[in-house]
Structure 1
C-alpha cells in the first residue's frame, strides 16, 4: 500500500519490514490495519507493497536484515525502528515481547521527527527556488557551503544497562550527540573533556554518588553551565532537597515517566523543543 494523505483520518506511512518470518509479517500487517482507528493519533501505518518506504521496521536479531538495513541507508527523512536486540545502531529499539502500544508510540515519535526534518528541507528548497527566480543572472553565483547543524551533546550516567538502553531509545529520535558513562568518576572526566548541554545523572552508583558528581560539576567553571538532571528511585522531598543542595537543575524519579522526561528534554535541549511540544500537545500558537 502506498502512503496516502486522506482528506480525513490519520496520515498513513508505508513500512518496509526486514527480517521477519511470514507469521510475524502477517501479525504486523493485521496490526497496521488497526492503527487508523487509534484515538487521538495523527498517523497510521501499512506494509510496503509498492516499493515506496517511509520507515523501516527491522528484526534486530536477524543479521541479514541488519545488513540489508545498512545497504538501504536509513536517514533523518526515512528512519528505522529496531525490534529486539541492539548492537549499537543509532535507532530506537522496541524490546521483545512486543508491547503494541509502545511500538506504535515509538513509530509515531520517529515519524514526527522525520516530518519535521522533511518540512525543514522543503522550506529550504522553496527558499532556494524563489531566490533563483528573482535573479536574472545566467549562472548561479558560487554559494558558501552551509554551516553544519550543531547537534546538542548529552551525557547519560547510570550503572544500569537497562536504564542506559531506555534513555538511548528516548533520546535517539532527536539525533542528539549522546555519550554514556557507568560511574561518576568517568562522567566527571568526560564532562571536563567535552562540553555537554545536558547530563542525565543517576544518584546511586558505585564509587561517588550522583550528589557528589553534581557538586563537582557545578563547582567547576568549565562544567557549571551544563544542565544536570538527576535520575533516582529515591524521590522523597528530602532526596529532592539533597538534589537541589548539590546544584541539580531537575530531579526525575525512577521509573521515569515518559511525558515528564519529554518535558525535561524540551526544557534543557532547545533543538527538540518544537517536536516535543507537538508530541505533548503543548505547541504554542
Structure 2
C-alpha cells in the first residue's frame, strides 16, 4: 500500500480516496459521506484525496468512459511514480467495465461505503509492501469484463444475525445511522418513505426499525401504528427519529407504539445504548417468531 497507509489494520490511519470523472453533485456527496466515517468508530475511515496531499491515494473511484478522468489518473500515477491504486469503476446501468469492483450512477452512499470497506479489507490482506498492491491492481485491470454488480457487500461480512430497517427521507440521516450500525456489526436496509418500508416488511423480517417522524406521504406515527397492528412486527423494537424532542412528540410516539426516541443528529454513545437496550428487549420474542417460520404477509 502507499506510504500514507502502510498500516490500515485497526483503522490507525485514514484511507485516501481519489475521485476521477464524477459530477460536482456526486463529488459533494462523496465528500460528505467520507467525512462521516471519521467519527463513527469504524474499522476503516476515509478522506478525499486532493493534489495537496503528500501521500498517494489508496483507492480511486473512476468513470472509465470519461477520457479526461482516465488521463488525469494516468498523469497522477506517472508524476508520482506510484503503482496503479486499487480501482472502483463507476458507470451507467447496462454498461460493463474492467475489474471486479463496480458502482452505478447515480451513486448510492451505502453501497459505495460497503464496496470501499471491501476493497480496504482486501488491501489489508495483501499488506505489507506496495509490490503486492501493484500486482493486485494489475490483475484487476486485466481481468475479464464482467456485468455490473448492483448489490452491496454480503451481510455475512458483518458477522451478526441482526438486521435493521432505516426509514428516513434524508440521505444524510440514513448514512449516519448505517455507519453507526456497521460499527456495531449490524446490517441494514433503507427506505425513503413509510410506504416503501411497509412493502419491505412484507418480504423480510428485521430485528429493529428506525423510523423518522416527518416524511413524505404517511408520517412516522401512522407507519408505527401499522407496524404495531401486524402480529409479526408488533414486538419488533421501533426507534423514532426526530429533529426535536418535546413532551408532545413523546406522547404521540408512545400512543403510536414506538419503543424509544432518538434526536437527530444522533449521538454516538446514546445511539449504541438505545440499540443495545432495544435488541436485548426484543431478541426473545423476535427469535420465537422467526423460529415459528412466520413471515409478514404470509
TM-score when normalising by structure 2: 0.47
Higher relative contact order (CA 8 A, sep 6+): 2
